[in-house]
Amino acid sequence: MSAHVVGNTGVMLGRSIRHVTRSMDTIITVTITPIALMLIFRYVFGGAIQTGTGNYTNYLMPGILLIAIASGVSYTGFRLFNDMQSGIFERFHSMPIARSSVLWGHVLTSLVSNAISVVIIIGVGLLMGFRTSAGVVAWLAVAGILALFTLALTWVAMIAGLAASTTDGATAFSYPLIFLPFLSSAFVPTDTMPGPVKAFAENQPVTAIVNTVRALFEQQPAGNDIWAALAWCAGILIVAYALAMRAYRRKIA
Amino acid sequence: MQTPPLAIHVSGLHKSYGKMQVLKGVDFAVAKGSIFALLGSNGAGKTTVVKILTTLLKPDGGKATVAGHDVVSKPEQVRESFSLTGQSAAVDEILTGRENLIMVAKLRQVKNPRQVADDLLQRFGLAEAAGRRVGTYSGGMRRRLDIAMSLIGNPPIIFLDEPTTGLDPEARIEVWKEIQSLANSGTTVLLTTQYLEEAEKLADRIAILHQGTIIVSGTLAELRRLLPPAKAELVERQPTLEEIFLAIIGNKEGVRR
């Protein structure tokens, strides 16, 4: 049975990866906004922002990557919603296959397509002066945290894709996610923020994740941030998965 | 367990959506290797019956078996035994025709998925369009691909939910031929339709679903007997518009296969 799941999921993954590669515009739209933000913050605001570190591109990079992932998962919701609307979801569910492979195909595709966006953005960042002393272990840790963040948000996207009744509903959930980095330590240090804003910024998941990734890139100890980041991602993942499964069971027999 | 001679057996099926009762005790049986037409107007509950039989929807009450397995307690076994061609063509528009077929062949774990795909493309007159994205196909081509996808793995039972709705007359005749040849090869076909002519042409048995129950069922001859015997009247036989249409465009595309 489990070989069945793996084989079926592989076919589903192949299918939706083709959807990604045949509509490269989705990768472009996912990467263009973060890249534009990176340019604006680096070349317009950057000179006036005091971060206490030398290289502002380095400072920006983690937050930019999170923005890219937050907007990238909206396409996962979109692709799942389209499957539900066309008859193909029912076709798959009426076939003698592991039903879970239908959803997992979308989840794995989300991981792959977001990884592509992240690599592109890091590439542009390198051109703009992003530098890191991170070794293999630190890079793997960065990849792991970004993958966990992607997985958590992907399951949020699955809820939207399963429960939405319009295309807009299936994708709109990502807008507030895209703004979370602005209320965090992603672009400016939290010290200068007024009390309530600072309190929010310091206690929301993006700050913990940004600080962790930044520390890993700079070869600094990540301290408690890494545990906070992991706890946030795991928590969001568990809650989103449970809600997505509930929405899924409502849709199928 | 002894295999029963019935491919599908439905008794006392109930289903409501909220307060709206869609099925109020539906009963019918489909013999192996026959074509059974479920006839009804829009909203009569035909699709609901098909969804319950194909394990996409759970009934509120009653019993349904497909290939001898209960649809509620043994959905996996039921899914091994049939293929569904739903109302909206269940094809992937971004993949090509060939890729759609190969995908289903791989999911059904048949040997030589490519070969199976190529044979079906040939058989359904889609060989030339095989490498094109399905998004560029016409309605008739999509429907043919959809049916071709349902034949992979040679399931003994095929459900066709309004297979010709929205097709032009030529495409409809193509689909009819395929359904006929499926039945000739021993496949059981349950089709739903709102076209009386379709049921009349294809079906061994016809059941009329109306307001949540089967109001009549039987062979066409049996249904005819429900009305007073035909009287001989002299009527000038005019060609139907469909006959004219087909005669005029008859050689437009030549033979499709």
Determine contact, residues A8/A108, Cβ cutoff 8 Å.
no
Instruction: Residue B26: name the closest of B35, B34, B18, B40 by CA.
Output: B40
Interface contact A88-B149, CB threshold 8 A: no
Q: Measured between alpha carbons, how far is A39 from A21 in angstroms, rounded to an integer?
A: 26
What is the chain B residue with the closest CA to A20?
B94
Q: How much is the CA Rg of chain B, to the nearest whole Å?
A: 19
pTM of the model: 0.84
Structural domain that includes position A13: 2-251
- Tell me which residues of chain A, numbers 92 to 131, contact chain B at a CB-CB cutoff of 8 Å: 92-97
Structure confidence at residue A3 as a pLDDT band (50, 70, 90): low
Residue with the larger pLDDT of the pair B152 and B89: B152
* % residues pLDDT > 90 (chain A): 30
Interface contact B107-A11, CB threshold 8 A: yes
Interface contact B79-A88, CB threshold 8 A: no
What is the chain A residue with the closest CA to B53?
A94
Q: For the residues A121-139, what does the mean pLDDT come to?
A: 88
Which residues in chain A touch residue B152, judged by CB atoms under 8 angstroms apart?
Answer: none
CB neighbour list of residue B242: distance below 8 Å, 6 or more residues apart: B169
Give the pLDDT of residue A187.
Answer: 84
Residue with the larger pLDDT of the pair B255 and A79: A79
Which residues in chain A touch residue B161, judged by CB atoms under 8 angstroms apart?
Answer: none
Q: Measured between alpha carbons, how far is B36 from B56 in angstroms, rounded to an integer?
A: 20
Give the pLDDT of residue B134.
Answer: 93
Place of tokens 């049939």: B82
Structure confidence at residue A131 as a pLDDT band (50, 70, 90): confident
Structure confidence at residue B63 as a pLDDT band (50, 70, 90): very high
Render pLDDT for B159-185 as a digit per residue (tens, 0 to 9).
999 888 878 888 888 889 889 988 898
Q: For the residues B109-117, what does the mean pLDDT come to?
A: 92
Give the pLDDT of residue B252.
Answer: 53
Strand order through the sheet with B82-85? B82-85, B157-161, B188-193, B35-39, B205-210, B213-218
Give the pLDDT of residue B251.
Answer: 55
Q: What is the mean pLDDT of chain A?
A: 87
pLDDT at A244 over 60: yes
Which residues in chain B touch residue A96, judged by CB atoms under 8 angstroms apart?
Answer: 76, 79-80, 108
Render pLDDT for A29-49 as a digit per residue (tens, 0 to 9).
888 889 998 888 888 887 777
**Which range (A54-63, A65-74, B57-66) has the least confidence?**
A54-63
ipTM, 2 decimals? 0.84
Q: φ and ψ at B61, to 5 degrees? A: -165, 165
Interface contact B104-A95, CB threshold 8 A: yes
Which residues of B lie inside 8 Å of A (Cβ-Cβ)?
A: 51, 54-58, 75-76, 79-80, 82-84, 86-95, 99, 103-104, 106-109, 133, 149
Render pLDDT for B198-248 as a digit per residue (tens, 0 to 9).
888 899 999 988 888 998 888 888 888 777 776 777 777 788 877 777 777
Give the pLDDT of residue B230.
Answer: 67
Q: For the residues B16-32, what does the mean pLDDT come to?
A: 90
Give the pLDDT of residue B254.
Answer: 46
Amino acid at A189: P
Interface contact A90-B84, CB threshold 8 A: yes
Indicate the number of domains in chain A.
Answer: 1
Measured between CA atoms, how close is A77 to chain B, in angstroms? 17
Within 10 angstroms of residue A151's Cβ, the number of other Cβ atoms is: 21
Best mutation target among B94, B137, B143 (most A Cβ atoms within 10 Å) is B94
